[in-house]
């Protein structure tokens, strides 16, 4: 077991004392459906604990490093940094998918690159570092893996705001106008409508978005407009 995880330990700079705990990080519940007598449980309890540790570390880090921001901004930044996509991205960088034990069906469904599975696995790893070492080591691990070179960029460019909020801020600052959203098309049955919405600055169309709700389509349109403005 030691050889199996040594590349990961080297990558993250943490050597585990409890090898069973480390293996527990990678036991997905689907694996146990096919191996009911396996000696290690699923990683769900570790994931639960890791979520709380991650939340506390993020709160402390923001409080210490961004003292000029208010609590509402802290909340927005925290939501953006600990969301599934962000955690899954980090999990990919440290190759957690290589170690996850899944059912055959889940493997065939590309479970090793599934964002939710990877994000849950990262949270379980956070909990394992906390249990096997200390809160301080878990703090350092999270800062190194998740915050380094990322959080400053998110804060500086206000990427924690939704695309609609960022576009509104930008247009108000540049032109002193608010964006307007216009429904271009509605398709599908009442219970499953798809919306196509365009966003305008004055009379100029800036972007188009699609979604299963007006809100989703508006966010998509704002994101499209921001991408076009960056170009």
Residues marked active site are found at 51, 123
Cβ burial of 195 (10 Å; 0-12, 13-18, 19+) is buried
Number of helical H runs and strand E runs in the chain: 12, 3
Is the dihedral angle over the CA atoms 39, 40, 42, 44 positive or is it negative?
A: positive
Paired sense of beta strands 180-187 and 204-211, if any: unpaired
Whole-angstrom CA distances from 21 to 34, 61, 118, 128 are 21, 27, 17, 7
d(CA 113, CA 66): 33
Q: Please give the radius of gyration of the chain, using alpha carbons only, rounded to the nearest integer.
A: 21
Measure the CA–CA gap between 93 and 216, rounded to whole angstroms: 29
């Amino acid at each position: 077991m030691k050889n199996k995880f040594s590349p990961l330990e080297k990558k993250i700079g943490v050597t585990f004392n409890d090898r069973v705990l480390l293996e527990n990080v990678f036991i997905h519940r689907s694996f146990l459906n096919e191996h009911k007598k396996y000696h290690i449980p699923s990683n769900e309890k570790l994931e639960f604990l890791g979520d709380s540790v991650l939340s506390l570390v993020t709160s402390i880090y923001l409080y210490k490093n961004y003292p000029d921001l208010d609590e509402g901004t802290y909340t927005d930044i925290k939501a953006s940094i600990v969301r599934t996509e962000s955690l899954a991205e980090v999990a990919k960088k440290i190759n957690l998918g290589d170690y996850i034990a899944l059912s055959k069906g889940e493997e065939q469904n590309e479970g090793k690159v599934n964002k939710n599975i990877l994000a849950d696995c990262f949270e379980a790893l956070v909990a394992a570092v906390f249990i096997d070492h200390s809160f301080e080591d878990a703090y350092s691990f999270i800062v190194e893996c998740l915050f380094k070179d990322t959080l400053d960029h998110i804060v500086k460019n206000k990427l924690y705001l939704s695309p609609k909020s960022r576009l509104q801020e930008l247009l108000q600052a540049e032109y002193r106008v608010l964006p307007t959203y216009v429904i271009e098309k509605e398709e599908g049955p009442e219970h499953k409508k798809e919306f196509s919405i365009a966003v305008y600055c004055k009379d100029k169309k800036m972007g188009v978005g699609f979604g299963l709700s007006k809100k989703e389509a508006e966010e998509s349109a704002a994101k499209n407009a921001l991408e076009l403005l960056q170009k």
